Amino acid sequence: MNAAAAETVPLRAKIAVMGALLGAFMAVLNIQVTNTSLPDIQGGIGTGLDNGGWISTAYLIGEIIVIPLSGWLAGVFSLKRYLIANAVLFLFFSAACGLTSNFPEMVALRALQGFSGGVLIPLALVCVLTLLPPHARPLGFSMFALTATFAPAIGPSIGGWITDAYGWRYIFYLNLVPGAIMLPALMWGLSPAPMHLDRLWKGDWVGVFTMAIGLGCLQTVLEEGNKDDWFSSGFITKLSVISAVALVWFLVQELRPGNETPLVNLRLFARWNFGFSSIANFMLGFVLYSAVYLIPLYLAVAHGYSAAQSGAVMAWIGLPQLLIIPCMPFLMKRVDPRRLLSLGFLLFFVSLLWNLNLGPNDSGPQLLIPNLIRAVGQAMVFRRSP
């Protein structure tokens, strides 16, 4: 046995990584956990179907903006301070969402919940990379992959069951239970480090503001465009122009030769492996999250499925992955990972083709086989993606 294999993982590192991965799981889960319960939430806060999409959109806007900032801000405030502070805020805003009584409050609180929860996702991967020795990282990557693919798949099922059993407000209160494990784990497992507040003043603030405005407007356009007939709406047209200008400005700022501290090092995309894998993950994530959002909504509106019934349909994407993902490190030792990755994308593609043949009279039973195929493909792709 070589020295690397013989190196043991300290208990504090194990506990810290477990807490960080639990936080990432919760943050990803909350992207989709409301989907099967949107009709109940809309009724509870007095809004209609057209506005209900903002309950998910607001959370996503917060996450999209904060994720690129997380690496920089963790360096400013230290990993331990920044991660724990946002974990506390995430739990606070989760409970506040459960207490809200109207639509504007819900949208604002969901945006704040997403802004704090988005920090937990990339920093969980940072913990895997920095706290675990090389021989233990494959297992850490497997667990992180579980948060990326299993959490959104199982989210509608959990949300549906809780809504039918206890009411939609308990979807948000649910976060407090794993949060009681996550916080002590992070507080005890992570080592303190000094802050570097000087980096805050030297940061790429032009990049921060242009990215936040550009991505926030773009997410709103993509979410609300179809409902408002795209560019027939003055609101959508204005946001599209603002998004385009802000994102072009962001690109120019990040690639400017004199910018020594870019917010995002876009030159990394010139590396073939990094650039291609990033594009592939983006396309896969686009399809994955779209399906997990649209299918429960379709089943509820077109076929009158309850939250629990929609969740049961979506469970066949998530549950098989509990068995498949732990087997992937074993398979990767015996099969070329590139072949596994290619097979995963192929299976995902087959599941999408299968769904193309579905008609308006098809519902849960007809979605079973494509969901199972997708579950196998997702497990292969996301296990390899880190």
CA 76 to chain centre: 24
Are 278 and 162 members of one domain?
Answer: yes
Residue 307 near residue 160 (C-beta atoms within 8 A):
yes
- For 97, half-sphere exposure in the C-beta direction (CA atoms, 13 angstrom radius) is 32
- For 107, half-sphere exposure in the C-beta direction (CA atoms, 13 angstrom radius) is 12
Q: For the packed helices 176-189 and 11-32, what is the interaxial angle rounded to 10 degrees?
A: 150
State the Cα angle at 288 between 285 and 293, rounded to 5°: 120
Are 49 and 98 members of one domain?
Answer: yes
**pLDDT for the residue 3:** 46
- Indicate whether 257 belongs to any domain: yes
- Indicate whether 256 belongs to any domain: yes
In this prediction the pTM is 0.76
**pLDDT for the residue 7:** 62
**pLDDT for the residue 92:** 95
Are 53 and 143 members of one domain?
Answer: yes
Residue 347 near residue 376 (C-beta atoms within 8 A):
yes
State the Cα angle at 87 between 213 and 127, rounded to 5°: 95
In which domain, by residue range, is 255 found?
204-262
**pLDDT for the residue 95:** 92
Using a 10 angstrom Cβ sphere, with 0-12 exposed, 13-18 middle and 19 or more buried, the burial of residue 349 is: middle
Are 311 and 244 members of one domain?
Answer: no
Are 267 and 123 members of one domain?
Answer: yes
Domain count for the chain, please give it: 2
Q: What string of pLDDT tens digits covers the 386 residues of the chain? A: 444 444 688 888 889 999 999 998 888 888 777 766 777 777 777 776 666 677 878 888 888 888 888 888 888 888 899 999 999 999 999 999 888 888 888 889 999 999 998 899 889 988 888 888 887 777 787 778 777 666 766 776 777 778 877 888 888 898 898 899 999 999 998 888 888 888 888 878 888 889 889 988 888 888 777 777 788 888 889 999 999 999 999 898 888 887 777 877 888 888 887 787 778 777 777 777 677 767 777 777 777 777 667 777 777 777 777 777 767 767 767 777 778 778 888 888 888 888 777 777 777 788 888 888 887 887 777 654 44
- Indicate whether 347 belongs to any domain: yes
CATH number for 168? 1.20.1250.20
> Last residue of a domain, which of 213, 237, 262?
262
Are 111 and 217 members of one domain?
Answer: no
Residue 153 near residue 317 (C-beta atoms within 8 A):
yes
Are 281 and 139 members of one domain?
Answer: yes
- Indicate whether 65 belongs to any domain: yes
Are 69 and 151 members of one domain?
Answer: yes
Cβ neighbour number for residue 138 with a 10 Å cutoff: 17
- Indicate whether 130 belongs to any domain: yes
Picking from 282, 241, 258, the residue whose alpha carbon sits closest to that of residue 206 is 258
- Indicate whether 96 belongs to any domain: yes
Are 146 and 76 members of one domain?
Answer: yes
User: Can you give the three-state secondary structure of the chain, one letter per residue?
Assistant: CCHHHHCCCCHHHHHHHHHHHHHHHHHHHHHHCCHHHHHHHHHHHCCCHHHHHHHHHHHHHHHHHHHHHHHHHHHHHCHHHHHHHHHHHHHHHHHHHHHCCCHHHHHHHHHHHHHHHHHHHHHHHHHHHHHCCHHHHHHHHHHHHHHHHHHHHHHHHHHHHHHHHHCCHHHHHCCHHHHHHHHHHHHHHCCCCCCCCHHHHCCCHHHHHHHHHHHHHHHHHHHHCCCCCHHHCHHHHHHHHHHHHHHHHHHHHHHCCCCCCCCCCHHHHHCHHHHHHHHHHHHHHHHHHHHHHHHHHHHHHHHCCCHHHHHHHHHHHHHHHHHHHHHHHHHHCCCCHHHHHHHHHHHHHHHHHHHHCCCCCCCHHHHHHHHHHHHHHHHHHHHHCC
Are 240 and 366 members of one domain?
Answer: no
> Last residue of a domain, which of 262, 285, 304?
262
Q: Which two tokens stand for residue 340?
A: 């596994």
- Indicate whether 3 belongs to any domain: no
Are 313 and 373 members of one domain?
Answer: yes
State the Cα angle at 248 between 244 and 254, rounded to 5°: 145
**pLDDT for the residue 186:** 92
> CA 54, CA 71: separation in Å to the nearest integer?
27
**pLDDT for the residue 9:** 80
Q: Which two tokens stand for residue 288?
A: 């994955």
- Indicate whether 118 belongs to any domain: yes
Are 166 and 99 members of one domain?
Answer: yes
